[in-house]
Amino acid sequence: MTFDDKTVRSRIEKACDAVMKEEPTITRYDEIVGDGDCGYTLRDGAKQVLQFISSADLSALPATVSDLVTDLEVNMGGTSGALYCIFLTALSAALATEKTLPDALKAAMEQLLKYTRARLGDRTMLDCLIPFVETLRESGGDAKKAIEEAKKGVEGTKTMQAKLGRSTYLDESATMGVPDPGAYGLLILLQGMCEM
C-alpha cells in the first residue's frame, strides 16, 4: 500500500477533532455506566495524536503508527488506552504487509482479540469495531456501509447486559438506554475518519 500524507493527515485530524468535540457526551455516558474517565482518555489521546502527527511523515504510515504507539503508551491511560495501543501496534505491522486497508484492519482486530476476553455482544468498544472492520472488508471498502453497521453495533449496546468492566457491577436498569462509552467514542472517531 502507498499512503498520501495530505489525505491521511486530513482523515486523522477530522477523527481527532470529532472525538474532542464529543468528549462531554462520552464523559456523560461514562459517568452513568463507568468510572467517568473514558471521554477524557479519548480526548487526551486525540490531542496527543494531533501533536504527534504535526511533525510526522504520514506517507511512511506503518513506521509512523509504530512511533505513535510508543508516544501514546506513555500519555493515554485507561483500559481504552491500552486497547487502542494494542490495536495500533498490530495495525502498524499489518499496514506494511497487507494489500488493502480493510485487510490490515482485520489483521489488527484479530490480534487485538488475542489480548482481550471481550467479544461482540459484551457491551464494549468491540461492538463498534467488529462490525465496522468486517463490513468494510466484506463490502470491498465501502466506508459508508461500514459506519452504518458500526452505528447499529453501538445502538445495540444500549440494551445489552455488560459482561466486562465496571458496568457489570451496576443494576441493569442503570445502563439501559445508555450506549457503551467506549463503543460510542470509537464510532465518533471512525465517522470523523471516514468523512469525505
Can you say whether the dihedral through the CA atoms of 114, 118, 124, 128 is positive or negative? Answer: positive
DSSP string, 42-61: HHHHHHHHHHHHTT--GGGH
Q: Taking 80 as the threshold, does the pLDDT of residue 12 lie above it?
A: yes
Cβ-proximal residues to 89 (8 Å cutoff; 6+ apart), any chain: 66, 69, 111
Residue 177 pLDDT grade (very low, low, confident, very high; cuts 50, 70, 90): confident
Q: Reply yes or no on domain 5-194 having CATH 1.25.40.340.
A: yes
- The CA radius of gyration of the chain, in Å to the nearest whole number, is 16
Q: Tell me how far apart the alpha carbons of residues 69 and 84 are, in angstroms, rounded to a whole number.
A: 9
pLDDT digits 0-9 by tens, 77-103: 777 888 999 999 999 999 999 999 999
Widest CA span in the chain: 49
- Look at residues 183, 190, 103, 109 and name the one whose alpha carbon lies nearest to residue 141: 103
In angstroms, rounded to a whole number, what is the distance separating the alpha carbons of residues 179 and 96?
34
pLDDT at 86: 96
Asked if the model's pLDDT at residue 47 lies above 90, the reply is yes
Which grid cell sits at 151?
452505528
> How far is residue 182's CA from residue 42's CA, in Å, rounded to a whole number?
9
pTM of the model: 0.93
End-to-end CA distance of the chain: 20
> Tell me, what's the pLDDT at 161?
75
